[in-house]
């Protein structure tokens, strides 16, 4: 398994860079490009362009939009490079692999970036980071953003559960899910903070996505994520802006679980990457074909208790970051739970993640007649 799942950001990046020579055997002009973060020496966003002479289709894979999720993201990229790229036609199919959209978060095992911004809430198309998008946020703020130091894991868990029960009674499940996960642009220390300007990683991705549509007739984009959904079943998450329904997509790709980013099937998100990409295509490249999706590898599970535990992992990690604790054991407990939520250690989980990724690549590339 270690062959697939890197142990550090540096390890992942080194492995990614090593794949250049393998890809160049078939895509001779493959280029490596790098964007070093302005304020963090040794951290960069790196990508490989494998261009086809006839620019018909481009496949884009990206990892670590949510930093810590980049470890599983790299594993999937490796599978694509080793098992699927060799089956593509280098004459008319190119690909763009983006490693570490949020390298700071990946290195420090955080989901957000160095400015506490969730990049998947930061792809605001019109540049209007509207602080009014999530008026219900304050209804859940006490639960998801406690303003205190963690004195004891047990005591804090009890307080969390009391908060959960209170929130489930009022404002209730639907409102609290929406208010927690939609994103917001006013509370930097509250999570799912979408920032007030485009972040470095977001700007890099936006520029690459524009170049992709300028150059290729058809673009298929897949962004790697972990955390949401059933424990042993990856979900393909697609934008509500795509005209296909999730049922149609599931059939087309011969893949069992496809969900749209909306309140009925997944949850609502404001400022997500896929929506940005469809808006860009619709506005400036209406003659191009685009399919943009995410692979979302579920970890704790999708039952109500599992979702409550998932939220607790996020709340405690954020609380620890902002308010700290005096007790080193609590740091370990909180960090371990957070790591398990986004990068599970269980071999069975990792094997199934790879198997699901293979199945989805096979289905998608086959559906577009690329393999
Ligand atoms: Zn994610």
pLDDT tens sequence across 162-184: 999 999 999 999 999 899 999 99
Q: What is the mean pLDDT of residues 289-299?
A: 98
- 35 Cβ contact partners less than 8 Å away, ≥ 6 residues apart: 44, 45, 46, 200, 204
Residue among 27, 126, 26, 68 nearest 318 (CA): 68
Tell me 291's DSSP state.
E
> How would residue 29 be classed by pLDDT, with cut points 50, 70 and 90?
very high
**Does the pLDDT of residue 347 top 80, yes or no?**
yes
* Distance in Å, CA 281 to ligand 1 centroid: 23
* Distance in Å, CA 247 to ligand 1 centroid: 23
* Distance in Å, CA 47 to ligand 1 centroid: 19
**Does the pLDDT of residue 153 top 90, yes or no?**
yes
The pLDDT value recorded for residue 8 is 98
**Does the pLDDT of residue 191 top 90, yes or no?**
no
Q: Rounded distance, CA 325 to CA 328, Å? A: 7
**Tokens coding 79:** 């599978």
Q: Rounded distance, CA 120 to CA 276, Å? A: 10
3-class secondary-structure state, position 298:
strand
* Distance in Å, CA 26 to ligand 1 centroid: 32
* Distance in Å, CA 69 to ligand 1 centroid: 6
| Residue pLDDT, tens place only, 59-112 | 999 999 999 999 999 999 999 999 999 999 999 999 999 999 999 999 999 999
- 64 Cβ contact partners less than 8 Å away, ≥ 6 residues apart: 70, 73, 99, 100, 101, 102, 103, 105, 106, 224
* Distance in Å, CA 89 to ligand 1 centroid: 31
Average pLDDT value for the chain: 96
Residue among 57, 55, 101 nearest 77 (CA): 101
Residue among 356, 97, 144 nearest 134 (CA): 144
* Distance in Å, CA 276 to ligand 1 centroid: 16
> How would residue 264 be classed by pLDDT, with cut points 50, 70 and 90?
confident
Could you give the percent of the chain with pLDDT greater than 70?
Answer: 100
* Distance in Å, CA 29 to ligand 1 centroid: 32
Q: What is the mean pLDDT of residues 234-240?
A: 96
* Distance in Å, CA 323 to ligand 1 centroid: 24
The pLDDT value recorded for residue 267 is 85
Q: Rounded distance, CA 146 to CA 162, Å? A: 13
* Distance in Å, CA 226 to ligand 1 centroid: 5
* Neighbour count for residue 278 (Cβ, 10 Å): 19
**Does the pLDDT of residue 1 top 80, yes or no?**
no
Residue among 233, 238, 230, 232 nearest 258 (CA): 238
The pLDDT value recorded for residue 114 is 98
The pTM of this model reads 0.97
Q: What is the mean pLDDT of residues 219-232?
A: 97
**Tokens coding 31:** 């280029």
> How would residue 266 be classed by pLDDT, with cut points 50, 70 and 90?
confident
- Phi, psi (rounded to 5 degrees) for 264: -75, -45
The pLDDT value recorded for residue 250 is 98
> How would residue 263 be classed by pLDDT, with cut points 50, 70 and 90?
confident
The pLDDT value recorded for residue 227 is 97
The pLDDT value recorded for residue 306 is 96
| Residue pLDDT, tens place only, 240-259 | 999 999 999 999 999 999 99
Q: What is the mean pLDDT of residues 340-353?
A: 98
**Does the pLDDT of residue 335 top 90, yes or no?**
yes
* Distance in Å, CA 166 to ligand 1 centroid: 27
Provide the β-strand partners of residue 260: 238
> How would residue 296 be classed by pLDDT, with cut points 50, 70 and 90?
very high
List CB-based neighbours of ion ligand 1 within 5 Å. Answer: 66, 69, 225
**Does the pLDDT of residue 2 top 90, yes or no?**
no
- 55 Cβ contact partners less than 8 Å away, ≥ 6 residues apart: 92, 94, 215, 216, 217
Q: Rounded distance, CA 71 to CA 187, Å? A: 28
* Distance in Å, CA 175 to ligand 1 centroid: 21
Listed in sequence order, the DSSP H helices in 25-69 are none
HEC string of 100-156 equals CCCHHHHHCCCCCCCCCCCHHHCCCCCCCCCCCCCCCHHHHHHHHCCCCCCCCHHHH
* Distance in Å, CA 45 to ligand 1 centroid: 17
């Amino acid at each position: 398994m270690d062959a697939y799942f890197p142990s550090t950001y540096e390890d992942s990046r080194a492995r990614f860079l090593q794949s250049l020579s393998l890809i160049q055997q078939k895509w001779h002009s493959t280029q490596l490009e790098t964007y070093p973060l302005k304020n963090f020496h040794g951290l960069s966003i790196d990508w490989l362009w494998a261009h086809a002479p006839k620019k018909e289709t481009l496949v884009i894979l990206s990892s670590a939009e949510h930093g810590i999720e980049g470890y599983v993201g790299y594993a999937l990229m490796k599978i694509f490079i080793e098992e699927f790229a060799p089956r593509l036609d280098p004459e008319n199919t190119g690909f763009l692999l983006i490693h570490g959209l949020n390298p700071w978060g990946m290195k420090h095992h955080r989901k957000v970036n160095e400015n506490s911004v969730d990049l998947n809430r930061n792809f605001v198309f019109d540049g209007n980071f509207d602080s009014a998008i999530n008026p219900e946020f304050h209804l859940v703020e006490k639960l998801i953003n406690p303003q205190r130091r963690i004195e004891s894991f047990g005591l804090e868990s009890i307080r969390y559960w009391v908060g959960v029960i209170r929130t489930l009674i009022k404002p209730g499940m639907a409102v609290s899910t929406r208010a927690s996960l939609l994103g917001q642009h006013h509370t930097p220390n509250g999570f799912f903070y979408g920032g007030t300007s485009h972040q470095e990683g977001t700007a890099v991705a936006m520029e690459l996505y524009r170049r992709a549509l300028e150059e290729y007739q058809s673009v298929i984009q897949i962004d790697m994520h972990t955390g949401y959904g059933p424990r042993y079943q990856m979900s393909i998450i697609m934008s509500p802006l795509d005209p296909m329904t999730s049922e149609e997509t599931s059939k087309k790709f011969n893949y069992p679980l496809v969900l749209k980013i909306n309140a009925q099937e997944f949850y609502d998100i404001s400022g997500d990457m896929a929506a940005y990409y469809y808006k860009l295509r619709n506005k400036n490249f209406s003659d191009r074909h685009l399919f943009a999706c995410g692979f979302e590898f579920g970890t704790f599970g999708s039952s109500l208790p599992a979702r409550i535990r998932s939220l607790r992992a996020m709340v405690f990690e954020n609380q620890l970051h902002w308010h700290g604790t005096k007790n080193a054991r609590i740091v370990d407990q909180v960090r371990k739970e957070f790591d398990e939520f986004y990068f599970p250690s269980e071999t069975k989980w990792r094997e199934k993640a790879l198997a699901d990724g293979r199945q989805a690549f096979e289905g998608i590339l086959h559906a577009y007649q690329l393999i």
